[in-house]
Amino acid sequence: MHGLHLTADLRDCRCDPGLLQDAPALVRSCLDAVLASGLRAVDQLFHRFPDGPQGPGGVTATVLLAESHLCLHTWPELSGVTLDVYVCNLGADHGAQARALLARLLALFQAGRVERQELQRGLPAVESEGLCP
Amino acid sequence: MHGLHLTADLRDCRCDPGLLQDAPALVRSCLDAVLASGLRAVDQLFHRFPDGPQGPGGVTATVLLAESHLCLHTWPELSGVTLDVYVCNLGADHGAQARALLARLLALFQAGRVERQELQRGLPAVESEGLCP
């Protein structure tokens, strides 16, 4: 169950502002990026939030992967996007594909500022007492 | 766009083993936990992986939240589950609800071992030069 979780929080995105409210285009871009990165999409879902007093509603999009998942949220009023790429490395190391997927999505949004974080996840298979929550 | 991202990676789950392959039951449990925690589900999706030589296939389930998302993956052959709860705190602090949601899911799976991590996410609204990727 060892896995790699990459996050990126983007501000000041210089892509077409319409992209951040265009759920079908975002899903297509995500699926293209998944395929180009050598990962395998098994399903996808999006939700567009209603427009509000601050402007157009954002989008949440997720792609379920054979290797785990990709999640994306947009805030058009802030030119902001958050990205999550999580891959389980059980059986094979998908870290390179995860990094390639995140790089493709970062290139799509052309953010002026990006905060990236990285988590190594998962417990080894060996039994160990005394680690209950 | 400040947010809180909680992860938990579970092994040796002592819940009914059938739960880890029962996608509808997992989604129901997730939706109940979301509601009980004061968060708002806007949509959900699951995928059950096919059975393989190592045993029954696992499940990926995601609940899209008004506050961001919940993702869950199960590995029945390892009695393992990974959990992600991510809430954006734009406009209001949803950290307490996120922690309550994670606690409910941890109680559901009764894991023998849990690795938990926590990320503070997001960039402030102020402009800052020189932080391009």
Mind listing the pLDDT tens digit for each residue in B42-68?
A: 999 999 999 998 899 999 999 999 999
The answer to whether residue B30 is domain-embedded is yes
Residue A97 within any structural domain of the chain: yes
- Number of structural domains (chain B) is 1
CB atoms within 10 A of CB B125: 11
Distance in Å, alpha carbon of B24 to nearest chain A alpha carbon? 16
Q: Is residue B25 part of a domain?
A: yes
pLDDT tens column, A85-94: 999 998 899 9
Q: Is the CB of A94 inside 8 Å of chain B's CB atoms?
A: no
Is residue B103 assigned to a domain?
yes
ipTM of the complex as predicted: 0.91
Alpha-helix residue ranges (DSSP H) falling in chain B: 23-36, 95-109
A130 found inside a domain? no
**What's phi and psi for B114, nearest 5 deg?**
-135, 130
Closest Cα of chain A to B112: distance in Å?
Answer: 5
> Which domain range does residue A44 map to?
3-121
- Is residue B131 scored above 60 in pLDDT? no
Provide the pLDDT for residue A90: 83
Instruction: Judge whether A35 lies within some domain.
Output: yes
Q: Are residues A1 and B75, on separate chains, in Cβ contact within 8 Å?
A: yes
Termini Cα distance of chain A: 18
- Find which of B26, B43, B69 to mutate to test the A interface (most A CBs within 10 Å of its CB): B69
pLDDT single digits (tens) A11-51: 999 999 999 999 999 999 999 999 999 999 999 999 999 99
Residue A6 touches chain B, beta carbons under 8 Å: no
% of chain B exceeding 90 in pLDDT? 86
Flag if A132 and B123 touch (Cβ within 8 Å). Answer: no
CATH of the domain at B32: 3.60.90.10
* Chain A residue with the nearest C-alpha to that of B84: A86
Give the pLDDT confidence score for residue A131 in this predicted structure: 36
pTM for the whole thing? Answer: 0.92
Q: What angle do CA B72, B76, B77 make, to 5 degrees?
A: 135
Average pLDDT over residues B64-73: 97
pLDDT category, A56, cuts 50, 70, 90?
A: very high
Q: Which of residues 21-50 of A touch B (CB under 8 A)?
A: 42-45, 47, 49
pLDDT reading at A125 higher than 90:
no
> Helix, strand, or coil here: B42?
strand
Distance separating alpha carbons of residues A13 and B91, to the nearest angstrom: 21
DSSP state of A51: P
Give the separation between CA B7 and CA A130, rounded to whole angstroms: 20
- The span from the CA of A119 to the CA of B86, in Å, is 14
Is residue A54 in some structural domain?
A: yes
Interface size between A and B, measured as CB pairs under 8 A: 139
Candidates A113, A17, A115, A110; CA nearest to B126 is: A113
User: In chain A, which residues have their Cβ closer than 8 Å to the Cβ of B121?
Assistant: 7, 9, 82, 115, 117
Phi, psi of B119 (to 5 degrees): -120, 130
Q: Is residue B84 part of a domain?
A: yes
Query: What's the rounded mean pLDDT across residues A73-98?
Result: 95
